[in-house]
Chain A
């Protein structure tokens, strides 16, 4: 294990994030606040409770997830895309480090940032709605696993992308719809039977519900299924990235 290299990459990435900390925290905080104003206060007042949870509180876990997914993909993909774009990736590729250490450094740093962001959003939400967290440890656990899973996805996108449009396309075309249809703002039990079935194929449903369970102790899907889904997601991402490094895909042409 090349610990010095791991530390160097992690530090480099954290420094890069520190330089842009303000804008990367301010944007999601403002967005989340707006969601609360619109959904929590304006619409939420007219909504009944869901599963005995007031609507404004019900959407908190989903909103945190929403930002977590987008920011994780964004941060992790940029972390590896930028060195490719500027050419500095030559140094990473010629260094005595394994793919595992590279991934650990980049994804670890991106996930750290996502985690901080998730907690900041949670704190912001607390200003708008009083809510309690039933299983705080499980909540942190879900936060970490989700951050890691989507940072891995982001990393793979960053390796794959050879232009800025490609960096946007997966988050815009796939992740956004899945997130909005992922039960962040509603219980999938409120959907017609057919769409309930369809929703069960959406991984985001499992993430949001697992997370929500850690807050309120109830969810549309089983907690085991939720954990299994995250584990599968992480495994698939790791396999893809592993394959990319093995074949030198888009890195070593």
Chain B
């Protein structure tokens, strides 16, 4: 089957490096293409360079080398055009404490070169459940509300690309769900979304594609589904009636291990394969007189994948 032609990426990063004034190299040559309309999750441990990458795209830090193009425009030479297309929700809760919510939203819209549009401002504030708070000063808001004010600011100028730098850090479960809903709704309207997160389940839940960055290098970019399937190993856990001291010799060579002081026998297999080998294994166990009272299968999560990718590097 022929792959459908790929549309030109809306954001294209080539050989991006950043060495801070301190001499620290936070990005070591990042190449990344973001497709129009996708939700891309950037994962990585603390200090991996996620924020630096976003900042370089948005113009908050000057890249040391490399290029960034947004819809084909260079983000340095054509910065007016590229920046007008981008909305950024920063990681830090940086707000003007004394400003009323609504004026800070109007300010953002103007700053990004858009004429006043009270209807749009109202819509954004309502979507984020901030309309009732529109005349409150920001310092009177809770942390979660401040986070939503930052999102409202980023959406005030109708961006094509939205960067969310850890949007759900310090946000309660319910609000997190709301935010996921909002992000999905935004994507429906054609907005491309790039988010960073430490919560793997967030990436698992939301993203179309996932990138993993570590120590300033993008070590993996993959469709979430492919990634889960490719690296997603399944395990069959048998809770034994009688604990075993060791895996019986008759079963040597099989991908088996013991856990829980020999109470659990774990069989690891490839979920994608034609033959899982489970029926044969169960038959062998019956022949050997190894009895179990219960069984379960589990699939490794992105978290396991993530840990297995990043851990060997540290």
> Does B111 make an interface contact (CB < 8 A)?
yes
> Does B152 make an interface contact (CB < 8 A)?
no
Question: Could you tell me if B115 and A4 are in contact, using CB atoms closer than 8 angstroms?
Answer: yes
Which chain B residue has the least Cβ–Cβ distance from A88?
B94
Could you say which residues of chain B place their CB within 8 Å of the CB of A97? 80, 111, 113
Q: How far is the CA of A90 from the CA of B90 in the complex (A)?
A: 8
Of the candidates B84, B95, B107, B115, the one whose C-beta lies within 8 Å of that of A12 is B107
Question: Could you tell me if A91 and B111 are in contact, using CB atoms closer than 8 angstroms?
Answer: yes
Q: Could you mark each residue 219-253 of chain A with 1 if its beta carbon is under 8 Å from any beta carbon of chain B, else 0?
A: 00000000000000000000000000000100011
Additional pairs, 6, CB under 8 Å, beyond known A8-B108, A8-B110, A86-B94: A11-B110, A90-B90, A92-B111, A248-B62, A252-B61, A252-B62
Could you say which residues of chain A place their CB within 8 Å of the CB of B153? 91
Question: Could you tell me if A2 and B80 are in contact, using CB atoms closer than 8 angstroms?
Answer: yes
Question: Could you tell me if B110 and A5 are in contact, using CB atoms closer than 8 angstroms?
Answer: yes
Question: Could you tell me if A8 and B111 are in contact, using CB atoms closer than 8 angstroms?
Answer: yes
Of the candidates B80, B96, B109, B115, the one whose C-beta lies within 8 Å of that of A86 is B96
Of the candidates A4, A16, A90, the one whose C-beta lies within 8 Å of that of B60 is A90
> Does A95 make an interface contact (CB < 8 A)?
yes
| Residues in B219-251 with C-beta less than 8 Å from chain A | none
> Does A26 make an interface contact (CB < 8 A)?
no
Could you say which residues of chain A place their CB within 8 Å of the CB of B95? 86, 88
Beyond A5-B111, A96-B113, A253-B20, whether A90 also contacts B94 by CB under 8 A is yes
Question: Could you tell me if B113 and A5 are in contact, using CB atoms closer than 8 angstroms?
Answer: yes
Q: How far is the CA of A193 from the CA of B44 in the complex (A)?
A: 70
Question: Could you tell me if B98 and A19 are in contact, using CB atoms closer than 8 angstroms?
Answer: yes
Beyond A9-B111, A86-B96, A90-B94, whether A96 also contacts B83 by CB under 8 A is yes
| Residues in A80-109 with C-beta less than 8 Å from chain B | 86-88, 90-98
- Offer 9 A-B interface pairs, CB within 8 angstroms, sorted by A: A4-B111, A4-B115, A11-B110, A19-B98, A90-B88, A92-B111, A94-B60, A94-B83, A253-B20
> Does A7 make an interface contact (CB < 8 A)?
yes
Q: How far is the CA of A160 from the CA of B216 in the complex (A)?
A: 29
Q: How far is the CA of A246 from the CA of B207 in the complex (A)?
A: 37
Q: How far is the CA of A214 from the CA of B3 in the complex (A)?
A: 78
Q: How far is the CA of A96 from the CA of B87 in the complex (A)?
A: 11
Q: Count of B residues near A, CB < 8 Å?
A: 35
> Does A162 make an interface contact (CB < 8 A)?
no
Could you say which residues of chain A place their CB within 8 Å of the CB of B60? 90, 93-94, 252
Question: Could you tell me if B21 and A5 are in contact, using CB atoms closer than 8 angstroms?
Answer: no
Could you say which residues of chain B place their CB within 8 Å of the CB of A49? none
> Does B201 make an interface contact (CB < 8 A)?
no
Size class of the A contact interface (CB-based, 8 Å): 20 to 34
> Does A15 make an interface contact (CB < 8 A)?
yes
| Residues in A6-33 with C-beta less than 8 Å from chain B | 7-9, 11-12, 15-16, 19
| Residues in B288-312 with C-beta less than 8 Å from chain A | none
Could you say which residues of chain B place their CB within 8 Å of the CB of A92? 111
Q: How far is the CA of A9 from the CA of B96 in the complex (A)?
A: 13
Question: Could you tell me if B112 and A95 are in contact, using CB atoms closer than 8 angstroms?
Answer: yes
Within the complex, what minimum Cβ distance (angstroms) separates B7 from chain A? Answer: 24
Could you say which residues of chain B place their CB within 8 Å of the CB of A90? 55, 58, 60, 88, 90, 94
Which chain B residue has the least Cβ–Cβ distance from A16?
B98
Q: How far is the CA of A58 from the CA of B255 in the complex (A)?
A: 98
Within the complex, what minimum Cβ distance (angstroms) separates B223 from chain A? Answer: 29
Of the candidates B58, B83, B88, B103, the one whose C-beta lies within 8 Å of that of A15 is B103
Q: How far is the CA of A16 from the CA of B96 in the complex (A)?
A: 10
Q: How far is the CA of A12 from the CA of B94 in the complex (A)?
A: 16
Q: How far is the CA of A11 from the CA of B111 in the complex (A)?
A: 11
Could you say which residues of chain A place their CB within 8 Å of the CB of B86? 94
> Does B92 make an interface contact (CB < 8 A)?
yes
Question: Could you tell me if A94 and B113 are in contact, using CB atoms closer than 8 angstroms?
Answer: no
Which chain A residue has the least Cβ–Cβ distance from B110?
A8
> Does B114 make an interface contact (CB < 8 A)?
yes
Which chain A residue has the least Cβ–Cβ distance from B80?
A96
Q: How far is the CA of A16 from the CA of B60 in the complex (A)?
A: 24
